[in-house]
Structure 1
Amino acid sequence: MRLDIKGLSLSGKTVIVIEDDPTLRTLLVEILSELGAACAAFNNAEDALITMLGLKNECSLIIVDHGVPGSIQGMEFISMAHERWPGLPAILTSGYQLDASQVTPPVIYLFKPWSIDQLADAICKALNVASVDRDK
């Protein structure tokens, strides 16, 4: 796969992907890798959290499916991550329409099925929101 998404480079960034659908998880990793990111992918939030704790502050973005196996769901995982790493860019995905009150800013919501352009837009928004929050 050769992606040329105008102006979007994730070179030098580490992205954590939590997605229980193996095909979608593989696709996300391929897209992010094409954009230059180093990726770690998980099918549940518990394993991802353990890995993130070992990364210290090296994580640049998290992309999390809301409905994953285990006791920690997507938005709960993002809230936990933001307690430890405030301002960490986050994208929440779901094939189910979520109540807007469940998706708290600065999280970007990406409804499934998404296109590569929609994913790219969500990544740009998440990174921009995080940089604005850091600049305050």
Structure 2
Amino acid sequence: MDNYVPGPEGKRRLEVVIVDNDLPHLGELTSAIAAMGWWVQPFSDPYEALKYILDVGDGVHTLIVELSTPGSFSGLELALMIEKRDPKIRVIATSEVLQAAFQLSPDVIFVMKPWPTSAVADLLGNPRQRSIGKDEG
């Protein structure tokens, strides 16, 4: 797994963008990640998430996306776009349908649903020990 280390304090905030159309799960996950110290931006529409990611630029550390989230394009399409456009953004894909993951690159972390919200702690870690950019090696 790639290691991320923090940038200079106060220079940029490390954000986690979450995309899921299951609103109760989205709220629970958003609260859990925010409690860990991350800045969290939740979306129920992949298109709105993409617009946000493009606006923020390199402030996004991780995208957590439910692959079957509908919209003008799907969560799967969003994951594919982000992994190609900006490899510095770690993509964590979730789905109840295993076949959806077969279209993703090996760099994308896939987590089969249902999974406990607490599992995100192992994937993200403490934002003060992370940074934007992959560790070489």
TM-score by structure 2 length?
A: 0.77
Tell me the distance in 1 between the aligned counterparts of 2:99 and 2:120.
Answer: 18
Tell me the distance in 1 between the aligned counterparts of 2:84 and 2:98.
Answer: 25
Could you tell me which residue of structure 1 aligns to residue 91 of structure 2? 90
Could you tell me which residue of structure 2 aligns to residue 131 of structure 1? 134
Post-superposition shift, 1:95?
Answer: 1.7
Could you tell me which residue of structure 2 aligns to residue 44 of structure 1? 45
| Distance of aligned partners of 1:99 and 1:67 in 2 relative to their CA distance in 1, 3 Å threshold | closer
Between the two proteins, what is the percent identity of the paired residues? 26
Post-superposition shift, 1:16?
Answer: 0.4
Q: Does 1:105 align with 2:106?
A: yes
Q: Letter of the aligned partner of 2:76 in structure 1?
A: M
Post-superposition shift, 1:99?
Answer: 5.3
SS in 2 for 1:60: strand
TM-score by structure 1 length?
A: 0.77
Q: Does 1:120 align with 2:121?
A: yes
| Distance of aligned partners of 1:43 and 1:99 in 2 relative to their CA distance in 1, 3 Å threshold | closer
Is the contact made by 1:110 and 1:122 (CA closer than 8 Å) also made in structure 2? no
Q: Letter of the aligned partner of 2:55 in structure 1?
A: G
For structure 2, the 5+ residue unaligned runs are 1-5
SS in 2 for 1:98: helix
Post-superposition shift, 1:123?
Answer: 3.2
Is the contact made by 1:20 and 1:68 (CA closer than 8 Å) also made in structure 2? yes
Is the contact made by 2:20 and 2:44 (CA closer than 8 Å) also made in structure 1? yes
| Distance of aligned partners of 1:59 and 1:100 in 2 relative to their CA distance in 1, 3 Å threshold | closer
Post-superposition shift, 1:17?
Answer: 0.4
Matched pairs, number: 122
Q: Letter of the aligned partner of 1:64 in structure 2?
A: V
